Structure 1
Amino acid sequence: MLIVKIVGIAFITLFIMLLLKQSKNELNTLLTLTACTLILLIMVEPLKEIINFLREIADKANIDTVYMGIVLKILAIAYIASFSSALCKDANADSLAAQIELSGKIMILVLAIPILMAVLNSILQIM
């Protein structure tokens, strides 16, 4: 199972970090970044499956692919911002983490504008 690999990587990284905590604190950030990147790379294939599934559903439901693309971009921004923010918080860079979170939220709002316009146009056509 994939989750066992991910948890294994996380626990091995945690164990090494605990061993190095007393002597090499600056290596902990590098270890965390390496482990998180490795876990993210492991998750690429399941993410591809989810994207393909959503595309199939969109095709069957006759949903415009533009809107599905926007939704997928919004999800990607949310996950990347959350991931990056957590890494910054782990490195005690809370202000940088807050800026990443704010930037992600602004980008999501910008991408959501076409969807909001489509919803508003649909409501106006009904009235």
Structure 2
Amino acid sequence: MTILAIGAAGIAAVLLAVWLKGVRAEYAVYLVMAAEILFMLSAAGRLEVILDAMERMRGYIRVDSAYLGTLLKMIGITYVAEFASGICRDAGYGALGNQIQILGKLSVLGVSMPVFLALFETLERFMK
């Protein structure tokens, strides 16, 4: 799906959900969740492009594969946290969505710590 198709489908889902909210509010929530899952699956299909690009980056410069794996984990954590947070907000549980976002940010920070430590070790070697 192109971004135009996704945008149009998203607008159609929202308009239909607004109409359904007046008729059966719970169906509106289900419709929005189904649209979000469809969009998540569409975005997951583009994961192959990201993996190919990361593999090409490894060919251009010598990068430890652990760093690229860490980058991929950070992208995955961010994506899942945003997706879950959005569903919680759409269902009317904004506080829970905020907690999921905070946990996602802390998880990204935790996963990225080895990269920061390696950066500081490299800087320390150059300073001596």
Fold match, TM over 0.5?
yes
Residue matched to 2:55:
55
1:7 aligns with 2:7: yes
User: Gaps spanning 5+ residues in structure 1: where?
Assistant: none
Cα RMSD (Å) of the superposition?
A: 1.5
What is the deviation of 1:82? Answer: 1.4
> One-letter code of the match for 1:77?
I
State percent identity of aligned pairs.
27
What is the deviation of 1:5? Answer: 2.4
CA shift digits 1:1-49 (9 cap, x unpaired)? 6123212321331232122121211111111110011111122232211
Residue matched to 1:29:
29
Q: Secondary structure at the match of 2:48?
A: helix
The ranges of structure 1 where at least 4 consecutive aligned residues each deviate by more than 6 angstroms after the TM superposition are: none
Give the Cα separation in 2 of the matches to 1:108 and 1:12: 33
Q: Secondary structure at the match of 1:86?
A: helix
Q: Secondary structure at the match of 2:62?
A: coil
User: Gaps spanning 5+ residues in structure 2: where?
Assistant: none
Residue matched to 2:18:
18
Give the Cα separation in 1 of the matches to 2:92 and 2:15: 20
61-70 or 71-80, larger mean C-alpha shift: 71-80
Residue matched to 1:77:
77
